[in-house]
Amino acid sequence: MDATGSRSSSGQPRTSYEPTLEAESRMWDLERDPVALEASPFRIFAWLRLHGVDIFTLAVIGALCLVVHVSDPAPNRVFPIFNLDGSLAYPELAYPRKAQIIPIWASALMSIFIPTLFFALFQIRRKSMDDFLTSFMGILKSVVTAAFFQVVIKTLIGSLCPHFYSVCDPDLDITRQALSDPSSTNILPMFDRSICRGDNEHINDALESMPSGHAAAAWAGLFFLSLYFNAQLKVISAHNPAYWKMVLFFTPLLGACLLSGYLVTDGHHHFADILVGGLIGVFTALVAFCQTFASITDFRFNHILLPRATSLLHRKEPYLPVTGRGSWFSYQADHTFLPRDLPVAREGGWTYGSAEQVGGAPGDATALSVNYRGVGLGGPGIVGRTK
């Protein structure tokens, strides 16, 4: 018997998790006729008020990146040219300078516009300008933040590129004089950039090898795209998806590896430079994706855009374009939908009639009960019932 004194159909006292006949009837009605929400039309000026501060901040950070990029590196780099026996101190810095296979501007553009192309294509099913623009903001946050981190680090810390000796073109008379100095018998002579006779712009670039800007941009944009593919296509979820989705998931990661690896091939970076730049890009992509979507790994929610209802330019009242929804995501299943509440994939029951996200993965920390027949974002679904 429950709190109301009712009994189950078998005559046994009803446990607290068993639904009443009325509740079960209502759930079956929802299964036959799930509810598709109607949102108010997209308003570009409202969106700009909500995201205007972010746009301004991105512009400021982007401008700072350019200022730092064109600045001379910090004057604290010293280096040897020859060992005491006259051999070259660092042969790994003696590669000839070659033109980059992929210039930095091309790497940055590909890291932004390739994901943006898929954001646009996926709107065939997502049907949301808010979703497209906010996803685009997410990729910009990832790439611009990674660019700022790497350009500050390489300007203030940096390291020597593999072609440093080539672009430095050191004055050998000065090096020979330093080696012949009696005081340098047991001390390796060290020099700064004043010994160099090469092109000043090339020298600046050769002093800023670590971290790689190409790798940071590539991983910031293309790793974000892989996370987006996983969320929208349910590559990792509660069903076994088509293999092509796995291939598509790994394609941006392969692209990021190639964009980064070319820098070793053309002699512009060491492997460690690429590794550090790649890690910067991965971390900024993770944070940017978390700010944009409800989850990274939880397949029930990682395709859902997080709402933004207020900002410094929109503070009078929360912007709530969907009736009945608040200014934050509840992480609870519902029986009402917008097209963007569903992923691009339709396998595994991701339709208006049923969905796999109701139960979740084993061990998930979730507000959803696992002991009743519930209704999820895709409609009614069996969550599980204790015998």
Closest Cα partner for 217 from 315, 324, 115? 115
Domain that holds residue 205: 44-292
Q: Would you give the distance in Å from CA 215 to the centre of its chain?
A: 13
pLDDT at 333: 64
318 lies in a domain?
no
Higher pLDDT, 18 or 296: 296
Percent of the chain with pLDDT strictly greater than 90: 41
Read off the pLDDT band of 14 (50, 70, 90): very low
pLDDT at 110: 94
123 lies in a domain?
yes
86 lies in a domain?
yes
342 lies in a domain?
no
207 CB-contact burial (10 Å; exposed 0-12 / middle 13-18 / buried 19+) = buried
Residue 235 near residue 247 (C-beta atoms within 8 A): no
User: Mean pLDDT in the chain?
Assistant: 80
253 lies in a domain?
yes
pLDDT at 335: 60
Q: How confident is the model over 315-368, as pLDDT tens digits?
A: 877 777 765 666 777 777 666 666 677 888 887 777 654 555 555 554 454 444
Give the mean model confidence (pLDDT) for residues 37-58. Answer: 86
pLDDT at 360: 53
Total number of domains constituting the chain? 1
Looking at the predicted structure, is the pLDDT value of residue 90 above 50?
A: yes
79 lies in a domain?
yes
* HEC-encoded secondary structure of the chain: CCCCCCECCCCCECCCCCCCHHHHHHHHHHHHCCEECCCCCCCHHHHHHHHHHHHHHHHHHHHHHHHHHHCCCCCCCCECCECCCCCECCHHHCCCCCCCCCCHHHHHHHHHHHHHHHHHHHHHHHCCHHHHHHHHHHHHHHHHHHHHHHHHHHHHCCECCCCHHHHHCECHHHHHHHHHCHHHCCCCCCECHHHECCCHHHHHHHCECCCCHHHHHHHHHHHHHHHHHHHHHCCCCCCCCCHHHHHHHHHHHHHHHHHHHHHHHCCCCCHHHHHHHHHHHHHHHHHHHHHHECCCCCCCCCCCECCCCCECCECCCCCCCCCCCCCCCCCCCCCEECHHHCCCCCHHHCCCCCCHHHCCCCCCCCCCCCCCEEEECCEEEECCCCC
Q: How confident is the model over 94-152, as pLDDT tens digits?
A: 899 888 888 888 998 999 999 999 999 999 988 889 999 999 999 999 999 999 999 99
171 lies in a domain?
yes
26 lies in a domain?
no
